Amino acid sequence: MTDLTNLGVKAIRDGVAAGDFTAREVAEGFNANVAAAAALNAFIVATPEHALAAADRIDADRAAGKPLGKMAGVPIGMKDLFATRGVQTTAASHILEGFKPEYESTVSQKLWDAGAGMLGKLNMDQFAMGSSNETSHFGNVISPWRGRGGNADLAPGGSSGGSSAAVSARLAPAATGTDTGGSIRQPAALTGISGIKPTYGRCSRWGIVAFASSLDQAGSMARDVTDCAIMLEAMAGFDPKDSTSLDLPVPEWSTSLDANLKGKRVGIPREYRMDGTDEEILKSWDEGIAWLKDAGAEVVDISLPHTRYALPAYYIIAPAEASSNLARYDGVRYGLRELPQGANLQDMYAATRAAGFGDEVKRRILIGTYVLSAGFYDAYYTQAQKVRTLIARDFEKAWAQCDVILAPTTPNAAFALGDKLDDPLAMYLNDVFSVPASLAGLPAMSVPAGLNSAGLPLGLQVIGKPFDEQGVLDAGLAIEQRAQFSAMPEKWW
């Protein structure tokens, strides 16, 4: 029998339904891979019993002739930002260490209802703040990839670095991610997998630890476009508990996939050819343009003139929202409490936050508090919101000329852990291509495009119109079929 851990979501689901193997056999295989990969530090908590119990329910349902869900028999990794009832949920922070929610996030519950099982809670950048998975209280996630001829530990991207590493290393066939400014797409690109951020509001945010509420969006990460589509169908849908949730039906994206782009127009934004971008990234972009032409699309040049302001606007708006959201962690109701002898309430707040938040989280809270303060609100926060509106308007104008946009996902391939840690601005530049779509709330996806000269994965990004996940997935599939990306990291862990 084929090693079941080499199979993706669709192959596992269909194989279980056909009786080619049992869901328990699949869960046991992935549980074994998770246990053997401690060196990657991709999981904060492993939950093998959860995966086996879900698998046994699926096997029993199949034996009884009951209908099976979209994710039946598929064990997945759950980013530690999603509340899971009775299982530690920390957002990779010390301040929430030991916290076990009494409730389940809407997205995770939808996945369990669809027949998925949980292999464990995946490591991430603390409170989803980071691009390399180096801000986690539980230590770095290490990419399963190695540069050709090198042994340096590489960043798996962030904040969903545990998710990307787990899927790439065959510890899970798929994983949940969240994307605030690129935290699904950037790690997917750095580890050679696919990942989609849907339109803002397509997936419920209820039960997801908040970073920046007007930007956060859950999405799927898997080995290919079809698997991302299947998983996203299970995750998406209206939720009355989330006031920003879209009250729209969830399309059957996976069954409507079509790589024939005849009649479609693909926009190439001239502002994305930025100084300092790796030449191999630009070459990969040119290849992607040729692939989409081959798929039947017409390629058109477009302008997104306010792109240069997207990153500074994002790093005002996101920290501002974070400073508000993270004010709830005060040591009073749940999580860590530091109470120095003789301390008053204010001292307890200060001591708890000093011990519980990492440096990057503190940095963003300080920035956010500063830009929201009385003397600077109009100068920074109000201006950033105006820029956000202009960026969204750029995309609206572009849709008159094109149906989807093709761009690089990241300005570079995976970098060594520690390389950018002391330079926050260099780290923030990792998000330069992914932030504009987040500010505009648009669906966007990263698909593997090939390897660079060092043998490391490169990703291409497809951005779509609001609610047009189908167009994004179709263009992603066209790239996937032509890139023929089949590279895997060589096992060293």
Q: What is the pLDDT of residue 421?
A: 80
Q: What is the pLDDT of residue 2?
A: 62
Q: How far apart, in whole angstroms, are the C-alpha atoms of residue 37 and residue 50?
A: 19
Q: Which long-range contacts (CB under 8 A, 24 or more apart) does 260-263 make?
A: 260/295, 260/296, 260/478, 261/292, 261/295, 261/296, 261/297, 261/474, 261/475, 261/478, 262/295, 262/296, 262/297, 263/296
Q: What is the pLDDT of residue 344?
A: 93
Q: What is the pLDDT of residue 333?
A: 86
User: CB–CB of 451/279 below 8 Å?
Assistant: no
Give me 423's structure tokens: 């330079």
- Asked if 79 is an active-site residue, the reply is yes
DSSP 183-232: TTHHHHHHHT-EEEE-STTSS--TTBPPS-TTT-EEEEEESSHHHHHHHH
User: CB–CB of 431/211 below 8 Å?
Assistant: no
Q: How far apart, in whole angstroms, are the C-alpha atoms of residue 326 and residue 352?
A: 12
Q: Is the peptide bond before 159 cis (omega within 30 degrees of 0)?
A: yes
Give me 44's structure tokens: 């904060």
CB 470: neighbour CB atoms within 10 A?
17
User: CB–CB of 186/156 below 8 Å?
Assistant: no
Give me 91's structure tokens: 């957002």
pLDDT digit string, tens, across residues 264-320 = 999 999 999 988 789 999 999 999 999 999 999 999 999 999 999 999 999 999 999
Choosing from 159, 160, 194, 204, the catalytic residue is 159
- Asked if 160 is an active-site residue, the reply is no
Q: How far apart, in whole angstroms, are the C-alpha atoms of residue 174 and residue 119?
A: 10
The low-confidence residues of the chain, meaning pLDDT below 50, are 1
- Asked if 213 is an active-site residue, the reply is no
CB 213: neighbour CB atoms within 10 A?
17
pLDDT digit string, tens, across residues 115-169 = 999 999 999 999 999 999 999 999 999 999 999 988 999 999 999 999 999 999 9
Choosing from 79, 110, 121, 264, the catalytic residue is 79
Choosing from 163, 183, 220, 245, the catalytic residue is 183
Predicted TM-score (pTM) of this structure: 0.96
Give me 396's structure tokens: 């609206």
Q: Where does 4-263 sit in CATH, by number?
A: 3.90.1300.10
Mean per-residue pLDDT of the chain: 96
CB proximity list for 430: less than 8 A, separation 6 or greater: 131, 132, 157, 182, 186, 410, 411, 412, 420
Q: How far apart, in whole angstroms, are the C-alpha atoms of residue 270 and residue 306?
A: 12
In terms of Cβ atoms closer than 10 Å to its own Cβ (0-12, 13-18, 19+), residue 74 is buried
CA dihedral 79, 160, 233, 210 (to 10 degrees): 70
Annotated domain spans of the chain:
4-263
* Angle of the 48-63 helix axis to the 23-35 helix axis, nearest 10: 170
Q: What is the pLDDT of residue 260?
A: 98
